[in-house]
Chain A
Amino acid sequence: GAVVSQHPSRVICKSGTSVKIECRSLDFQATTMFWYRQFPKQSLMLMATSNEGSKATYEQGVEKDKFLINHASLTLSTLTVTSAHPEDSSFYICSARDLGQPQHFGDGTRLSIL
């Protein structure tokens, strides 16, 4: 079945650094990818939607200059958290879908900013 691979699964870094998270669809073409953020014991909050080859559409309140999203191919999207600070620490989850198909989620990235 459809597999979405997210890397790294966990990252710890110092405040002020930039962190890149990769999301790959392994066995299907991901025409659309989504990036979510999840705080402990809370639901998933959609950050942005990206279509291959187009600029990402960000949800209200999400800083596009802080969370850079690239969806350059049908199997890869990246999220870069720029100049990360402790308040950016969270669980980031990507999902992907092909046209008319259900969304499939990656296993998330636990980001901890010291």
Chain B
Amino acid sequence: QQQVKQSPQSLIVQKGGISIINCAYENTAFDYFPWYQQFPGKGPALLIAIRPDVSEKKEGRFTISFNKSAKQFSLHIMDSQPGDSATYFCAAKATSYGKLTFGQGTILTVHP
């Protein structure tokens, strides 16, 4: 029940296209859903996060869509750029539990 399932494992997008990564969870106690971006040899960096009281959050080219009833959330990267090529992790946390549960990761490649 602590799992967060992420798909796809890898994604190839042309420059200017939209990248979409999906995550699903089981634990209804989760109340914080961040997305992290990780470049090779670096630690993850917080990209954007959402709480279940809203269905969408946008920051620049990055948007999280959240569907509470389906227990799913997704990251949309608009106008994808080669510099967005990285591994993306979704995560979830229950405030009372305190620990992040990570998805399996998606390797995004944006071709110029």
Contacts and interface: CB of A to CB of B under 8 A. Distances in A.
B103 A49 contact: no
26 contacts: A4-B43, A6-B43, A34-B99, A34-B100, A41-B105, A41-B107, A42-B105, A43-B103, A43-B104, A43-B105, A44-B89, A44-B102, A46-B99, A46-B100, A49-B98, A49-B99, A102-B34, A102-B46, A102-B49, A103-B46, A105-B36, A105-B43, A106-B43, A107-B41, A108-B41, A108-B43
Interface in B74-112: 89, 98-100, 102-105, 107
Contacts of A106: 43
B105 A107 contact: no
A107 B39 CA distance: 10
Q: Please indicate which of the listed interface residues A6, A34, A46, A105 has the most CB atoms of chain B within 10 Å of its own CB.
A: A105
A110 B46 CA distance: 21
B45 interface: yes
A105 B45 contact: yes
Given A42-B105, A43-B89, A43-B105, A103 B100 contact: yes
Interface of B: 34, 36, 41-46, 49, 89, 98-100, 102-105, 107
Chain A: interface size category:
20 to 34
Given A102-B49, A105-B46, 12 more contacts: A4-B43, A42-B104, A43-B105, A46-B100, A49-B98, A49-B99, A95-B43, A102-B46, A104-B46, A105-B44, A105-B45, A108-B43
Interface string A93-111: 1010000001111111010
A47 B78 CA distance: 35
Contacts of A107: 41-43
Contacts of B102: 43-44
B22 to A, nearest CB: 15
